[in-house]
Chain A
Amino acid sequence: MNPTKIASTLEISTPSDREIRMTRVFNAPRNLVFDAYTKPELLTRWMGVMPGWSWAVCEIDLRVGGTFRYVWHGPDGVEMGMRGSYLEIIPPYRIVSTESFDQKWYEGECVETVTLEESDGRTTLTMLLRYDNQAVRDGVLQSPASTGMEAGFSNLAALLATLER
């Protein structure tokens, strides 16, 4: 598994072929982290706000079965969009949602599980991205090409971990 420590506390690991896990500690109670993840007015202040990129749409219907819709505008008229629906919501502890991108290179859907654990006023956020399984489970037909990119991410991390040993 070989977690890789990045900058401050961001850790990325590949628990399996089809999963990516990111862990990050925040110096704040988890109800605030939960809010920052689920309230559009807060989410739009930090997520994906790269230089040259801005939010165009941020809609969140935070209930099981509800959907979310994000669209960003980038340099040279580039647009990036993603959508998904909520499978499980336990405030301020856990959010499970599907996630897919509009652009063809990210067509494959994945299931994202965000877990917030609080200890001494600090919150450990774990984001688990599970690719393909959802598609397999739901019997959704997806070509290897559309999911290869995402599955490839964890495969690459696994391979690099092997080569580093």
Chain B
Amino acid sequence: MQPATLSSPQLDAIFAALADPTRRAILARLASGDASVNELAEPFDMSQPAISKHLKVLEGAGLISQGQDAQRRPRRLEAKPLAVANEWLERYRKFWEANYERLDALLEELKAADTPKRRRTRGK
């Protein structure tokens, strides 16, 4: 579970875009540099239109953009939306860490209450 405040349409779009392994692979490829549609299609056994469809989803989520070169129209990874998603992930982690720190404190209390009983058992 996570705090409700972490939800937003932008996050929905980002996570929906990330839900596909091909799109994640495209992003991983773009992380090492801009690439044209043809270059992106190459490692996948997919038609160019199929790849273009994935690129559209990634663009819609703001995860990639098109470069200036009119001929190649290279796609570029946009760092900011991933940073937003990463921030969400961090908050998820912090949420659970905060939960577990409260649980630590509670367990200390329960252990203290449990101790006299345990001593008796051990003393037998």
Contacts and interface: CB of A to CB of B under 8 A. Distances in A.
Interface in A1-37: 4, 6-8, 10, 12, 17, 22, 24, 26-29, 32-33, 35-36
Nearest to A70: B1
Interface range on chain B (Cβ under 8 Å from partner): 35 or more
Contacts of A101: 1
A32 B7 CA distance: 33
A6 B92 CA distance: 11
A11 to B, nearest CB: 10
Interface range on chain A (Cβ under 8 Å from partner): 35 or more
B103 interface: yes
B15 A149 contact: yes
Interface in A72-86: 74, 78, 80, 82
A162 interface: yes
Contact of A82 (B1, B5, B114): B1
Interface of A: 4, 6-8, 10, 12, 17, 22, 24, 26-29, 32-33, 35-36, 42, 45-50, 53, 74, 78, 80, 82, 99, 101, 103, 105-106, 144-145, 148-149, 151-153, 155-160, 162-163
Which 6 A/B pairs are nearest by Cβ-Cβ distance?
A152-B15, A46-B102, A28-B107, A148-B16, A155-B18, A46-B103
